[in-house]
Amino acid sequence: MSSSSPTQSSPARYPELRGQVAIITGSARGIGKGIAERLASEGMRIVVNSNEPDAVELTAAELRQQGGDVLAVTADLSRSDEVRRLIQTTVATFGIIDVVVNNAADLRRYNVFDVDEAILDYQLALNIKSPYLCAQYAAEVMRQQGHGNIISISSVAGTRAHWQGLPYDVTKGAIDSMTQAMALELAAFGIRVNAVAPGPIRNSRAFHGNAEDLRPFIERVPLGRIGQPADIAAAIAFLASNEASFITGQVIYVDGGLTAQLTPKNSPI
């Protein structure tokens, strides 16, 4: 059995998002690009970011060809000064920040004994410090506006560990805690803080083979398919919309039912 996926050309559903400004970090490809495409289709003004100049410009050009109002900002967000520059450039260009999507992350995973200090430092900088500072700097702008949305991309690894999942899984657990703590403190300023935790999602770096190649993975997912970036983007658009106005401090799992199961159906314990 399989379940259908939203298409990349989903119609705009949230008219209140039109004209709002959204920063999506790590949005030159993969899940981040899918989020940028969806929010652009809602009429939002989009800030595309990555540390790869060519990929940033290519994605920005594609969105502009589709009618999007796009700012391209190449920045290495493992550096705090670059996080600050991303926020400042956005405000200088658009004047406001309505939505921040913390998506940029280093996805590498290792055995505990293979994690050297350089890998640990880089993931702590990019996966934890960067989204924290991006949220903090953006919130400084949002509280003057009296509204805003901060949405981070977590992972099923934030609640259920991978075998050989370090230090990545640690960083996603931190994102979940950050989401709750920031939601409580920023609620008074009209700023909502949530996270979306993807399961297996097809992109250029993972789960990109044909159906037969992916069968061992598909069989572990209750809904019987690998997710698409559009699945994550749909959750982001909802959380940014007025329909989610009473939702804050939550981690929404978009994982095909993966975290709900103790073991796959063919591997009972």
- Which amino acids are annotated catalytic? 168
User: Would you give the end-to-end CA distance of the chain in angstroms?
Assistant: 23
Would you list the domain boundaries of the chain? 15-260
Q: Specify the pLDDT at position 204.
A: 60
Is omega for the bond preceding 216 within 30 degrees of 0, making it cis?
Answer: no
Q: Specify the pLDDT at position 2.
A: 47
Helix or strand or coil: residue 164?
A: coil
Q: Please tell me the pTM assigned to this model.
A: 0.94
pLDDT in tens, 7-65: 455 789 999 999 999 999 999 999 999 999 999 999 999 999 999 999 999 999 999 99
As a CATH number, domain 15-260 is 3.40.50.720
The rounded distance, in Å, linking the Cα atoms of 180 and 187 is 11
The rounded distance, in Å, linking the Cα atoms of 174 and 154 is 9
Q: Using an 8 Å Cβ cutoff, are 102 and 153 in contact?
A: yes
Q: Specify the pLDDT at position 9.
A: 56
Q: What are the residue ranges in the chain where pLDDT is below 70?
A: 1-9, 204-206, 208
